[in-house]
Amino acid sequence: MAADGVVLNHLNLQSGHCVEVKAIIPEGCKGFAINLGKDHKNYLLHFNARFDLHGDTHKIVCNSKEDNAWGVEQRESFFPFQEGSETSICFKYDKDKINVQLSSGENFSFPARFPSDVISFLSLEGIQLKCLTLE
């Protein structure tokens, strides 16, 4: 996936707050990613929904990246996404984890593997942004 989507800097998402991403998944999508962190080399969360990508079929794969080095992947057992449909994903930041709530009702958390006072960076790859809400 190329970094051809939206990139936001200076997001200033603090602990206890959340960002909701509403987006359209294009037809023929192989996968999409939402990255939250400090910059393009430091992701507290790399949320990667894979329809058919990197040997995974219908898997959500999450990871972190610190100083451009990837951590250990976390895979989820559910996959509620459909090509050509709209999705909504809410990311709530707590100092020790990011809680992920999907529009289909599933939720899970991903550990914050390195300290960060705020999430200042968000990027989208492979999906079309419809709305972004900060709470």
Given a cut of 90, is residue 1 above it in pLDDT? Answer: no
Q: What is the CATH number of domain 7-134?
A: 2.60.120.200
Take residue 113 and report the two structure tokens written for it: 């593997």
How do residues 50-94 score in pLDDT, each as one tens digit? Answer: 999 999 999 999 999 999 999 999 999 999 999 999 999 999 999
d(CA 34, CA 43): 10
Strand partners, 93: 98
Indicate the domain borders of the chain. Answer: 7-134
List strand residue ranges (DSSP E) for 25-127, in order.
31-39, 42-53, 56-66, 69-70, 74-76, 86-94, 97-102, 107-111, 118-119, 121-125
The 10 Å Cβ neighbour count of residue 120 is 17
Q: What's the confidence (pLDDT) of residue 5?
A: 83
What integer is the mean pLDDT of 100-129?
Answer: 95
Q: What's the confidence (pLDDT) of residue 54?
A: 93
